[in-house]
Amino acid sequence: MQVDALTLAALADEFTHDLRGARIDDVIQPTPNAVALQTYGGGRNRWLLISTHPQLARIHYTSAKPRKLTAEPPAFVMLLRKHLEGARIVAIRQPRWERMIELGFGRGADQATETASAWLIIEIMGRNSNITLTDAEQVILGALRLASAETNTYRTILPHQPYRYPPPQMRDLRGLSLPKLSPTDVNALELREAALSALEAEAHAELLTSAAGDTSHTSDTGATEKRSGRRRKHEALTVAGLLTAQLLGFSREMGREVAARALGASETPLTNELSWETLASETRDFATLATTHDWRPTLAYRTADDVAPFTCAVYAPRQYAPTTVLQPAESANAMLDTYFKGAEWQGAMESAKGDLRRILQTQRDRCQRKDEALRHELAALDETPRLRTEADILLTYQTGIAPGQTSFTIENPFGDDGDETTAGAGPITLTLDPRLTPVENANIRYARYHKLQRAAEQIPPQIEANTLELARVEQLRADLDLAETPAEVTHVRSEVAEAGYIRGGAEARRLAKEQRGKKKLKSQKISKFGKGGKAGKGGAAAPRAPEGGTPLRRKLAGEFIALIGKNSRQNEEVTFHQAAQNDMWLHARGVAGAHVIVKSGGRAVPEEALREAAALAAYYSQARGEGNAQVDYTEARYVRHMKGGGPGMVIYERERALHVAPAEAGDPA
């Protein structure tokens, strides 16, 4: 669903009622594509979110302060703060049938005269969406996305340049570029003429495609497949597509809605035999919403059990199946806030995780390849006894081997395993290098034998170390998957840098260690002197802050509390600093994930609480997407650090297992 001109018209009406006279108290940038203004008016605070995301561009109030990816405000936000903080919204404009909203800001005497000293121009146009700040004379002060004359030949978006509105909406009619039709005045003749033009252009295109297909050589399989692929991708002309292409401000959803109301089907094919009068009349009636302001914000759900709507509109839609559940919204702002809730934030978080995910995947692949190579070398150790036996035979029977001989066959005097007691187990044939003497052939085998002996001592520790590293990489991947805030992503980044997986990571590791050292020193000072900063009998030591953030807390059945570590440092914290010896410890088997501690207080943990904790352990692990997961549980006293392992890497014993479905059980504690 795209925010179209009709939706912006409804928003402009609400903004005129709610935002006129509101004061701007703060400006932040939640994501790289969005800006949020804190407004105060009518006795209440509101956050106005403006997004230029290519697929999620929009403007609306939010129910809560938007979360920020970074703490440092960029230059454009600083510019907005300079010109807008303390100013009031004195004017709101929405050009008819344009996907734009303009907010005028004034200070002092400007507020009484409604004269704007600055304008914030919001263009909701998909990939071309932008936010531009201008002065009273429409000279650009700054923009979220700047564009030079080289990148935008129609208009330049740079400071000190005059602001120019986007190009007018044009349509194609028999090869001519004409202004689009007004939906409030369109008539049947205009629609029919546009339809005939589209059908003729379609017939001409099919004729050209057919001619190209006839002249293609039958052996040119690749070219034929490409042309047939283009034909498969071609979409049939529909009434909705015609309305979108010919009418001012009409989105695809609006075109389908009018087609459904006028002709009974939202995807009615475009033909010459349509009721053009009915279609034109319904188009004009639908377009009067912009003047009657009879807005009916509606959220559409596919079924009554759906949590999130699949689309929304500022009118009661009729284009969807009868099973669609239509739920009226309090306002257009509330409708958009519900529909887009969390969508852009999740995308921004995934983008922030992208480089780390690639780094960890590369390291994981490297560890797996190394493991395969080491185990292949370990399997080669099986030839060690044979090499020793062959070398001994060559030295013992060297006088019986003629110069230049390529092979030597003899009854094995040492047996299959090199033991003289099993001699005579069968003949053995030795391949020889004819250029070398028997002693030199024997020495080659001895050298290979001694190399494999050294490998037998070195390979198992290497396999163990590589297995530990692979486990750490898997834990970091799980930490990244579970990270839901910028701080948690930053923590994972520091852990990845400390592990040496980021190029130029030596400096990053040094800084990370220095930072932990400072935190440790600060913690020690607080513990020694107390919160007041002076030593004394009454000085209470402040609690030590976990390095990886604060673990989650959930209430379980029977008034039990579960502690959940969402990353390796939090796992270390809950398991070895917050868990008592008789508390229950849980972890999903065979995958990286959270350590879950059930604080028992010496009581027996009932099965219901244990299953809720197991569901949490599975949910906060790499088994989250599985229908059923095995979770091990034991008392915390039986959990200890893995030798040579990183933070949160443990081994445990005396465990039992539960099979549960991953779920975010329990209420926050």
- Tell me the mean pLDDT in the region 176-191: 95
Specify the pLDDT at position 16: 94
The set of long-range contacts for 485-488, using a CB threshold of 8 Å and a minimum separation of 24, is 485/67, 486/67, 486/68, 486/69, 486/70, 486/349, 486/352, 487/549, 488/548, 488/549, 488/566, 488/567
Q: Provide the pLDDT for residue 410.
A: 87
What average pLDDT does the chain have? Answer: 86
Q: Which long-range contacts (CB under 8 A, 24 or more apart) does 199-207 make?
A: 199/237, 199/270, 199/271, 199/272, 200/174, 201/172, 202/237
Of all helices (H) and strands (E), which one includes residue 658?
A: strand 656-660
User: Between residues 484 and 11, which one has the greater pLDDT?
Assistant: 11
pLDDT for the residue 227: 44
pLDDT at position 321 is: 92
The whole-number pLDDT of residue 413 equals: 79
Average confidence (pLDDT) over 300-316: 93
- Answering whether pTM is above 0.75, one says no
> Is the pLDDT assigned to residue 339 strictly greater than 90?
yes
Q: Is 561 helix (H, G, I), strand (E, B) or coil?
A: strand
Q: How far apart are CA 595 and CA 572, in angstroms?
A: 8
228 band by pLDDT with thresholds 50, 70 and 90 = very low
CB atoms near residue 666 (< 10 Å): 21
Q: Give me the pLDDT at residue 280, please.
A: 96
CA distances from 587 to 177, 554, 607, 656 (A): 65, 16, 16, 11
Q: 83 or 521, which is more confident?
A: 83
Cβ count near 86 (within 10 Å): 12
- The pLDDT, as a whole number, for residue 384 is 83
Distance CA 642, CA 371 (A): 19
Question: Which residue did the predictor score with more confidence, 21 or 203?
Answer: 21
Q: Which of 522, 570, 514 is nearest to 543 (CA)?
A: 522
Mean pLDDT is lowest, of 162-171, 302-311, 316-325, 371-380, for 371-380
Q: CA 207 to CA 184: how far, in whole Å?
A: 36
The model's pLDDT over 458-482, given as tens digits with 9 standing for 90+, comes to 888 888 889 889 988 998 998 898 8
State residue 482's pLDDT score.
86
Q: Give 454's pLDDT tier (boundaries 50, 70, 90).
A: confident
Confidence of residue 26 (pLDDT cuts 50, 70, 90): very high
C-alpha separations of 424 from 410, 427, 445 in Å:
10, 8, 22
Report the distance separating Cα 471 and Cα 322, nearest Å: 51
For residue 533, the model assigns a pLDDT of 42
The answer to whether residues 361 and 480 touch, using CB atoms and an 8 Å cutoff, is no
CA dist 580 and 599 (Å) reads 8
When pLDDT is averaged across residues 350-377 and rounded to a whole number, the result is: 89
Mean pLDDT of 73-84: 95
End-to-end CA distance of the chain: 37
- 393, 430 contact by CB (below 8 A): yes
**Measured distance CA(507)–CA(489) in Å, rounded:** 19
| Residue 487 confidence class, pLDDT cut points 50, 70, 90 | confident
Bridging pattern class, strands 140-143 and 100-106:
unpaired
pLDDT digits (tens, 9 = 90+) for 235-269: 689 999 999 999 999 999 999 999 999 999 999 99
pLDDT of residue 360: 93
- Cα 552 from Cα 253, distance rounded (Å): 42
Encoded tokens for 344: 């852009």
Is 70 exceeded by the pLDDT of residue 528? Answer: no
pLDDT band at 541 (very low <50, low <70, confident <90, very high): very low
Residue with tokens 């809605």: 257
* Alpha carbon separation from 499 to 466, 513, 548, 624 (Å, rounded): 13, 11, 15, 26
455, two tokens:
């490998």
Nearest partner of 122 among 135, 132, 137, judged by Cα: 132
Give the pLDDT of residue 459: 85
Q: Could you tell me if 41 and 25 are in contact, meaning their C-beta atoms sit under 8 angstroms apart?
A: no
Q: Regarding beta strands 325-328 and 407-411, do their DSSP bridges make them parallel or antiparallel, or are they unpaired?
A: unpaired
- pLDDT over 90 for what percent of the chain? 57
Report how far residue 90's alpha carbon sits from residue 16's, in angstroms, rounded to the nearest whole number. 9
Residue 215: pLDDT over 60: no
Residue 309: closest CA among 298, 295, 319, 317:
298
Q: For position 540, what pLDDT does the model report? A: 46
Q: How far apart are CA 71 and CA 371, in angstroms?
A: 41
Between CA 328 and CA 334, with CA 331 as vertex, the angle to 5 degrees is: 95
Side chain identity, residue 510: R
Enter the tokens of residue 298: 């509606």
Residue 343's pLDDT band (cuts 50, 70, 90) = confident
Residue 546 has pLDDT above 70, yes or no: no
Q: Is 390 helix (H, G, I), strand (E, B) or coil?
A: helix
Residue 307, pLDDT above cutoff 70:
yes
What is the pLDDT confidence band of residue 489, given thresholds at 50, 70 and 90? Answer: confident
Average pLDDT on 126-144 reads: 95
Single-letter amino acid, residue 354: G
Q: Would you place residue 527 in the very low, low, confident or very high pLDDT band (cuts 50, 70, 90)?
A: very low
Question: Is the pLDDT confidence value at 539 over 90?
Answer: no
**pLDDT of 376 above 60:** yes
Q: How confident is the model at residue 64 (pLDDT cuts 50, 70, 90)?
A: confident
Picking from 386, 392, 431, the residue whose alpha carbon sits closest to that of residue 408 is 431
Scanning 536-606, the segments in alpha helix (DSSP H) are 568-576
The Cα–Cα gap between 334 and 297 comes to: 9
Q: Is 486 helix (H, G, I), strand (E, B) or coil?
A: helix
Residue among 486, 614, 620 at smallest CA distance from 566:
620
CA-based max dimension of the chain: 117
What is the distance between the alpha carbons of residues 647 and 650, in angstroms, rounded to a whole number? 9
pLDDT range class, residue 29, cuts 50, 70, 90 = very high
Whole-angstrom Cα distance, residue 24 to residue 84?
A: 6
Q: Which amino acid is at 168?
A: P
**Residue with more model confidence, 519 or 455:** 455
Phi, psi (deg, nearest 5) at residue 501: -90, -10
Rounded to 5 degrees, what are φ and ψ at 330? -65, -35
If pLDDT is split at 50, 70 and 90, which confidence band does 520 have? low
Reported as half-sphere exposure (CB side, CA atoms, 13 A), residue 46 has a value of 21
Say what the pLDDT of residue 27 is.
Answer: 96
Average pLDDT over residues 63-85: 90
**How far is residue 280's CA from residue 195's CA, in Å, rounded to a whole number?**
12
CA atoms within 13 A on the CB side of 578: 25
Q: Which residues of 523-549 are buried (b: 16+ CB within 10 A; e: fewer)?
A: eeebeeebeeeeeeeebeeeeeebbbb
Q: How confident is the model at residue 330 (pLDDT cuts 50, 70, 90)?
A: very high
Q: Is the pLDDT of residue 229 over 70?
A: no
- CA-atom Rg of the chain in angstroms: 36
234 has a pLDDT exceeding 60: no
Looking at residue 643, what is its pLDDT? 85
Chain segment 92-116, per-residue pLDDT in tens: 999 999 999 999 999 876 565 668 8
Number of Cβ within 10 Å of residue 363's Cβ equals 20
d(CA 617, CA 662): 8
User: Poorest-confidence range of 62-66, 211-215, 348-352, 644-648?
Assistant: 211-215
